[in-house]
C-alpha cells in the first residue's frame, strides 16, 4: 500500500471504543468496507494505543493486512510489515518513571512496549492476563533490570486502581516534563516521547504519502484521540464518546455498536 499523491484518500480510525470493544471481532460490515477501500487504492490506517504487534491480530483474523499506527503514534507499521517510522525513549527513562510511580503508590503494574514485544514482571497478575486477552498477544515476563539498555522504548503503560489515576497523572507531568502522559481508560496512564501523539502520527503519515489533509478522515472516541481529531477537517467521534470529546470533533457518527465508522465510509468514500 505504497500508493499516494494529492488525490489519494485515507481513513484513520482508533480501535477500542471506535471500531470494536475488548475481545469482540470487527463487524462483517466494517471488514467489507475496509476491503472496498483497499480495492479502490485508498488507505485504511488503524491508530491505536496498542503496540502494532498487539493491534495486528484483530485485523489479520479477518484477512486484513493494513498499516497500523501503534503506541499512540510512536510507531507506524506498513501493510508489508516494514516500519515507516519509530519514535521512543530510553530504558533508563522508563525505569525512572516506574520507580517514581512505585514511590508514590503501591500496586502499580507497569508494562514496557518495544517494536517487537511487550514486557511485564508478572504475567499472572489479573490486569496483565486481561490485557493479554484483549490484545491477543502474550507479554514476555522479565525483570526490567535484566532488559538491555540499548533497546528503544515506544511506550510504558501504567495500570492502577481508578481512584489514583488523576493524582498520579499530575505528579508524573510535574516530575517528567520531557515525557508525554495521557489516559486511555480510567485505570491506564500511557508514557510516551514528548512530541508523540496520534495527531503527530496522522500528519506524518499524510506527509509520507503526499495525501492532502482534506482527503483524510479521522475517527475516535477518547481523550487520547483529541490531537488526531483536530489534525483534519473530516473528524468524527462515535456517539458513545464522552461529551468532552464530542466537542472537539467536527462531526458525530453512530456508535461503535451501530457501525458508525462503516456508515461514514460508505456515505463519503464508497458511493
Give residue 19's region: left, alpha or beta (phi > 0; psi -120 to 50).
alpha
**pLDDT confidence of residue 186:** 87
Mean pLDDT by 10 residues, the chain (271 residues): 70 96 90 96 95 94 96 96 96 96 96 95 94 90 90 96 96 98 90 97 96 96 94 96 92 97 98 86
**pLDDT confidence of residue 100:** 97
Cα–Cα dist 57/65, whole Å: 10
**Which cell numbers hold the place of 187?**
485505570
**pLDDT confidence of residue 231:** 96
**pLDDT confidence of residue 2:** 59
CB atoms within 10 A of CB 84: 16
- Helices within 78-152 (DSSP H only): 91-104, 126-135
Sequence-ordered list of residues with C-beta below 8 angstroms from that of 142, at least 6 positions apart, any chain? 119, 120, 121
Sequence-ordered list of residues with C-beta below 8 angstroms from that of 227, at least 6 positions apart, any chain? 197, 198, 199, 200
Amino acid at each position: 500500500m505504497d500508493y499516494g499523491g494529492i488525490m489519494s484518500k485515507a481513513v484513520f480510525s482508533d480501535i477500542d471504543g471506535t471500531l470494536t470493544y475488548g475481545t469482540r471481532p470487527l463487524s462483517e460490515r466494517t471488514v467489507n468496507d475496509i476491503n472496498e477501500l483497499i480495492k479502490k487504492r485508498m488507505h485504511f490506517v488503524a491508530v491505536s494505543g496498542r503496540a502494532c504487534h498487539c493491534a495486528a491480530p484483530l485485523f489479520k483474523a479477518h484477512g486484513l493486512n493494513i498499516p497500523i499506527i501503534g503506541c499512540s503514534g510512536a510507531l507506524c507499521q506498513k501493510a508489508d510489515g516494514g516500519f515507516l517510522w519509530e519514535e521512543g525513549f530510553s530504558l533508563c527513562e522508563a525505569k525512572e518513571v516506574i520507580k517514581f510511580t512505585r514511590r508514590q503508590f503501591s500496586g502499580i503494574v507497569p508494562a514496557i512496549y518495544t517494536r517487537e514485544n511487550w514486557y511485564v514482571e508478572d504475567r499472572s497478575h489479573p490486569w496483565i492476563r486481561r490485557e493479554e486477552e484483549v490484545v491477543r498477544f502474550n507479554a514476555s515476563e522479565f525483570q526490567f533490570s535484566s532488559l538491555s539498555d540499548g533497546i528503544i522504548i515506544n511506550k510504558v503503560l501504567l495500570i492502577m486502581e481508578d481512584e489514583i489515576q488523576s493524582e498520579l497523572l499530575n505528579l508524573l507531568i510535574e516530575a517528567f516534563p520531557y515525557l508525554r502522559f495521557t489516559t486511555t481508560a480510567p485505570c491506564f496512564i500511557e508514557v510516551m516521547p514528548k512530541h508523540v501523539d496520534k495527531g503527530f502520527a496522522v500528519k506524518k503519515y499524510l506527509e509520507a504519502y503526499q495525501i492532502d489533509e482534506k482527503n483524510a478522515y479521522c475517527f475516535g472516541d477518547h481523550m487520547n484521540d483529541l490531537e488526531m481529531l483536530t489534525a483534519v477537517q473530516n473528524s468524527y467521534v462515535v456517539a458513545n464518546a464522552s461529551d468532552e470529546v464530542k466537542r472537539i470533533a467536527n462531526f458525530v457518527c453512530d456508535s461503535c455498536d451501530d457501525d458508525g465508522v462503516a456508515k461514514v465510509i460508505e456515505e463519503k468514500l464508497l458511493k
